[in-house]
Structure 1
């Protein structure tokens, strides 16, 4: 049975801790900020999260600063694999005309600028089916919305006071609201969902093939085989199981953190 988020559903404390931890681990691994084990200033509000991360072995205290443990890096790598799949598998369902069956992404390479693309997709005829697809595949839709927030840089750690925003309630309330008001699989219908996912998966592969073609032309002047080509071909092969509308990669089936 697909996950059903209804109007009165709220994110669990573990969901929120997981999403907060991903933001903090990303800053520790990829950012410039060093978090002192003697938390002060804006970082002080993160201390309860650090306490739990240490207790569960995801970070360690090294001298006067926190460091990500190998266990924490493993969790973050798993999240990044999921995030990569989100960008490939789910984004294609962002703009779908349910009446005509048109996917906006089928025209993606027709536009020369981001502004042209945004103008095209900013049309009320397009619906966002990412939540419906996630629920159909038994993936937690809240994680899909969280990933869309990450992609939009909604958790901008370069902004003063980001720690308070992260530990506050607004972002999580917004994720709940998006999940609860999104189109659900039962509103589309099982047969229509299967058809839409089939179309979206075929389009995803075509987009990857076109991206590979353009990359090869840019890198090689249209000829030869490079390392980039090999990587792209392996990537396309990796996503081919998604031709099955019920397929979900095993990396989505385990919890990221065990709190």
Structure 2
């Protein structure tokens, strides 16, 4: 645990992160709705193709084959529609209505009002809050930050300071006490806001949404208590320094060496994901310095 006092968690950060969480949830509904509509359109198109082919009294062998393929595709599309419909149902609580906010969650109004004033959200025809075009752009930037965090910082979550190694999440026991979390120390050394790094880590793990009452926690100001405590408790760069038979080694030297090794490993892991997922380019680490307090 760190004994060094870090800069406090600013009100601006709390406002920004709170609004990004609300935007993320609104986009969860938007994406689920878009997916469901896309699959529904596919079902409609296939049903129309099936109707036309079935309506032919005389069909060629090619048309019989085409009908068989269309029917197979239609079965798959209908199964997919069941899945997207279920996903949309599960996302419905993220379709925030004005009535709900006014009656039960009025404490969220300052967040939503600020987002609306900045053109990030609007009120749709159902009297619910929905992301605007600007909101979609902000969300895309947030996704870029999440990708960058996973690529450049996740590797430092489990570092063996004794052996100078990094955990392999696929094979190592991550609960082992030998691991140290150096993400905050690395962020500070690189000049990246440590609160943003921990925010992205928790958002990536969906930690904020584990409690169904997370919006209430956001409204009363307690949602980010764990984030704040995590940043304050993490090991500092200075605490990484040590002395051996050859003299003292500064924390700056230690963290620089860790970052050199970690960066190489992060690129190696990215290339492995690139081969598996056909991801085109390495995410830009500089996007982590962007703020969205509009």
Paired position in structure 2 for 1:44: 106
CA deviation digits over 1:155-207, x for unaligned, max 9? Answer: 227x5433102223333222222111211122221121111001011111222
On the 8 A contact 1:97/1:125 being kept in 2, the answer is yes
Paired position in structure 1 for 2:164: 101
Pick one of 161, 176, 179 that aligns with 1:123: 176
- Rounded to whole Å, the distance in 2 between the matches of 1:82 and 1:212 is 18
Paired position in structure 2 for 1:242: none
- Rounded to whole Å, the distance in 2 between the matches of 1:137 and 1:210 is 25
The structure-2 alpha-carbon separation of the partners of 1:62 and 1:80, relative to structure 1 and needing over 3 Å to count, comes to same
**RCO comparison, higher one (Cα < 8 Å, 6+):** 1
Matched, 1:200 2:236: no
- Structure 2: state its 5+ residue gaps: 30-90, 241-250
- TM-score norm. by structure 1 comes to 0.75
Matches within 5 A, 1:162-201: 162-188=214-240, 189-201=251-263
Note the C-alpha offset of 1:212.
4.4
Q: 3-state SS of the aligned residue for 1:139?
A: coil
Matched, 1:10 2:8: yes
Note the C-alpha offset of 1:127.
0.4
On the 8 A contact 1:94/1:128 being kept in 2, the answer is yes
- Rounded to whole Å, the distance in 1 between the matches of 2:290 and 2:204 is 22
Q: 3-state SS of the aligned residue for 2:123?
A: strand
- TM-score norm. by structure 2 comes to 0.67
On the 8 A contact 2:120/2:133 being kept in 1, the answer is yes
The structure-2 alpha-carbon separation of the partners of 1:134 and 1:210, relative to structure 1 and needing over 3 Å to count, comes to same
Paired position in structure 2 for 1:88: 151
On the 8 A contact 1:42/1:161 being kept in 2, the answer is no
- Rounded to whole Å, the distance in 1 between the matches of 2:116 and 2:22 is 13
- Rounded to whole Å, the distance in 1 between the matches of 2:267 and 2:106 is 46
Q: 3-state SS of the aligned residue for 1:67?
A: strand
Cα RMSD for the two superposed structures: 2.3
Note the C-alpha offset of 1:92.
0.6
Q: 3-state SS of the aligned residue for 2:139?
A: helix
Paired position in structure 1 for 2:193: 140
- Rounded to whole Å, the distance in 2 between the matches of 1:253 and 1:126 is 27
On the 8 A contact 1:156/1:162 being kept in 2, the answer is yes
- Structure 1: state its 5+ residue gaps: 112-116, 216-227, 240-247
- Rounded to whole Å, the distance in 1 between the matches of 2:238 and 2:24 is 36
Note the C-alpha offset of 1:41.
4.4
- Rounded to whole Å, the distance in 2 between the matches of 1:162 and 1:171 is 7
The structure-2 alpha-carbon separation of the partners of 1:160 and 1:102, relative to structure 1 and needing over 3 Å to count, comes to closer
Q: 3-state SS of the aligned residue for 1:155?
A: helix
